[in-house]
C-alpha cells in the first residue's frame, strides 16, 4: 500500500480512531473537568475531540498534531471557538510545565506508548489537573491468534486493562475511572472509512492497496471481542 493511497483514504474522515462526541463528554464528566480553562489535545487530528472540548468547557484548547492537513482542516472548522493549533511531536512538546488543567489524548497515546505517555505528559499538568486518554487493549487474557498477529505488527506493547491500571499505579498515578468504548464508537470511525474505500474503488484505485487500508476492519469484524479501546481518567499521585 502506498502512503499516498493511505492518506487519500483517511483525509477528510471525521475521526482517526474509535470514539464519539458522547464518549468525549462522558470522559470529561468522569474527570470532573467540565470547567477546565486550559486544555491540551494531543494527536488532535481534525479536531474530533478539540471542538467538543472547547464547546463543552468554554476553555482554550491547544490542539497538537504533526500532520499539517489535519491542522489546516481544524483551523477551517473551529469557527470562533477558542482552539489554537500547534504542529509538534507528542514526545517533544514546546510547552511549559504546569500549563494545562486537562491533557487529552483520544486514540493517540499508542504513538509513544502508554508508559511513555504517562512519563512525558505528567509535567504538563497544573496542580489538580487530569490526564484523559483512550488506549487499545486486550479484553481477554487469551486473544485469538488472528488478533495477536494483527496487533503484534502495529502495537506489540498492547496490554489488558488490568495491566495498564497496574502500570499507571506503579508510575505514580491514581486511576479515577476507566470506560470501555462501545461498539458504536468503532462504527463512528469505520463507517466513514469504509465509505471512503468504496469511493476510491469506484474511482479505480488499486484494489490490493485498498484491501490493506481496510484490513483492520476485517480483523475487527472477526476478532473484535478480543480487544477494544478503554478510556482512562488519571491524576498524578502526590
pLDDT per position as a tens digit, 115-156: 999 999 999 999 999 999 999 999 999 999 999 999 999 999
Quick one: pLDDT at residue 3? 80
Q: For 53, how many CA atoms within 13 A lie in the half-sphere containing its CB?
A: 33
Element (H, E) at 4: helix 3-10
Query: Rounded CA gap, 7 and 25, in Å?
Result: 29
Cell numbers given for 234: 488519571
Per-residue pLDDT tens digits for 8-26: 999 999 999 999 999 999 9
| Confidence check: pLDDT of 190 > 80 | yes
- Are 126 and 100 within 8 A, CB to CB? yes
| Confidence check: pLDDT of 85 > 60 | yes
Residue 30: inside a domain, yes or no? yes
- Are 106 and 17 within 8 A, CB to CB? yes
Query: Rounded CA gap, 224 and 176, in Å?
Result: 26
- 112: domain CATH number is 3.40.50.150
Q: Over range 77-91, report the average pLDDT.
A: 97
Q: Identify the domain containing residue 90 by its residue range.
A: 16-182+227-236
Cell numbers given for 154: 502495529
Residue 8: inside a domain, yes or no? no
Q: Over range 57-83, report the average pLDDT.
A: 97
Model confidence, pTM: 0.95
In the chain, how many domains are there?
1
- Are 62 and 117 within 8 A, CB to CB? no
Residue 190: inside a domain, yes or no? no
- Label residue 160 by pLDDT band (50, 70, 90): very high
Q: Compute, in degrees rounded to 10, the torsion defined by CA atoms 19, 22, 23, 28.
A: 130
| Confidence check: pLDDT of 1 > 60 | no
Amino acid at each position: 500500500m502506498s502512503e499516498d493511497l493511505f492518506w487519500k483514504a483517511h483525509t477528510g474522515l471525521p475521526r482517526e480512531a474509535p470514539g464519539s462526541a458522547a464518549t468525549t463528554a462522558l470522559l470529561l464528566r468522569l474527570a470532573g473537568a467540565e470547567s477546565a480553562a486550559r486544555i491540551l489535545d494531543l494527536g488532535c487530528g481534525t479536531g474530533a475531540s478539540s471542538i467538543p472540548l472547547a464547546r463543552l468547557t468554554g476553555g482554550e484548547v491547544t490542539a497538537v498534531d504533526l500532520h499539517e492537513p489535519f491542522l489546516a482542516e481544524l483551523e477551517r472548522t473551529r469557527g470562533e471557538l477558542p482552539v489554537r493549533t500547534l504542529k509538534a511531536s507528542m514526545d517533544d512538546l514546546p510547552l511549559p510545565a504546569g500549563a494545562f488543567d486537562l491533557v487529552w489524548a483520544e486514540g493517540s497515546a499508542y504513538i509513544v506508548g502508554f508508559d511513555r505517555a504517562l512519563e512525558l505528559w505528567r509535567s504538563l499538568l497544573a496542580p489538580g489537573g487530569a490526564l484523559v486518554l483512550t488506549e487499545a487493549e486486550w479484553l481477554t487474557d487469551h486473544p485469538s491468534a488472528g488478533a495477536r498477529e494483527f496487533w503484534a505488527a502495529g502495537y506489540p506493547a498492547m496490554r489488558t486493562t488490568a495491566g495498564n491500571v497496574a502500570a499507571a499505579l506503579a508510575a505514580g498515578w491514581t486511576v479515577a475511572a476507566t470506560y470501555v468504548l462501545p461498539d458504536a464508537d468503532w462504527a463512528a470511525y469505520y463507517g466513514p472509512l469504509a465509505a471512503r474505500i468504496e469511493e476510491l474503488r469506484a474511482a479505480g484505485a488499486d484494489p490490493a492497496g485498498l484491501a490493506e487500508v481496510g484490513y483492520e476492519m476485517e480483523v475487527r469484524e472477526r476478532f473484535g471481542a478480543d480487544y477494544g479501546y478503554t478510556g482512562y481518567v488519571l491524576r498524578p499521585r502526590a
